[in-house]
Amino acid sequence: MIIHVFNSQQELNQAGAGIITALIQTKPDAVLGLATGGTPVGIYEELVKNYNAARVSFRHAKSFNLDEYVGLPDGHSESYRTYMNHHLFDHVDIQMEETHVPNGNADDVDEECEEYDAMMADAGQVDLQILGIGHNGHIGFNEPGRELTAGTHRVELKAETREANARYFPSIDEVPTHAITMGIASIMKAKQIILIVRGADKAEIVERALFGPITTDCPASLLQAHPNLVVLLDNEAGSGLIEQ
């Protein structure tokens, strides 16, 4: 595990984008595991800058997103497909057919999950997986519990997760109750994982995830077992690690 703590958001964003850019420069057909939410937005902005400056091309890359809400209409402003198009895909030269986000409106969600895993297997091992972390330690939408699911699956979102995401919707009643998410095994298969965390409100769960016991009650704690984990924190998120 390598941990970097940054004094500014800009430094964190540039570092994250730099890792991804360097990967694609050395392996143009890299398979990227992408995340959504507020955490990676600045990194995607820096990637677009790198593309516009001709430092990187995504033409031969593939991407697989961690998750998607179940039941949002196609084109909904808060769907993760819309998010990815808006923040990255529409601004670089990646081939849209090589960008993959689970279909939250599939007629058969379980079948969609199986097909998503099959597409990932066909693409080969994910070279780099971007992750954030929830206040309860979830990664993707793998919520704390007595057991965790290995492959892509449908999950019921916990109340605290829906409350955390309510800021993106007119009311909490409009936050979906279910999502499709990559499973823990799918995430852990990536060659490299970048965990990105911002804010003092995440300091406690960061310390627990990185230095506490490995337990399904904190899914992010399983990342301690990954052989190539890079953690990018701002000063606030890293404040609990000073004595580690």
* Residues classed as catalytic: 67, 136, 138, 143
Contact between 88 and 61 under an 8 Å Cβ cutoff? The reply is no
DSSP class per residue in 2-31: EEEEESSHHHHHHHHHHHHHHHHHH-TT-E
Name the DSSP class of 142.
B
CA distances from 15 to 4, 32, 137 (A): 9, 16, 23
Indicate the pairing of strand 153-156 with strand 178-181. antiparallel
- Supply φ then ψ for residue 202, to 5 degrees: -105, 0
The residues, any chain, with a CB within 8 Å of residue 95's CB and separated by 6 or more, are: 59
First CA to last CA distance, the chain: 13
Instruction: Compute the CA torsion angle 196, 199, 200, 201 (nearest 10 deg).
Output: -90
Residue in 20, 13, 10 with CA at minimum distance from that of residue 129: 20
Kindly report the length of the chain: 244
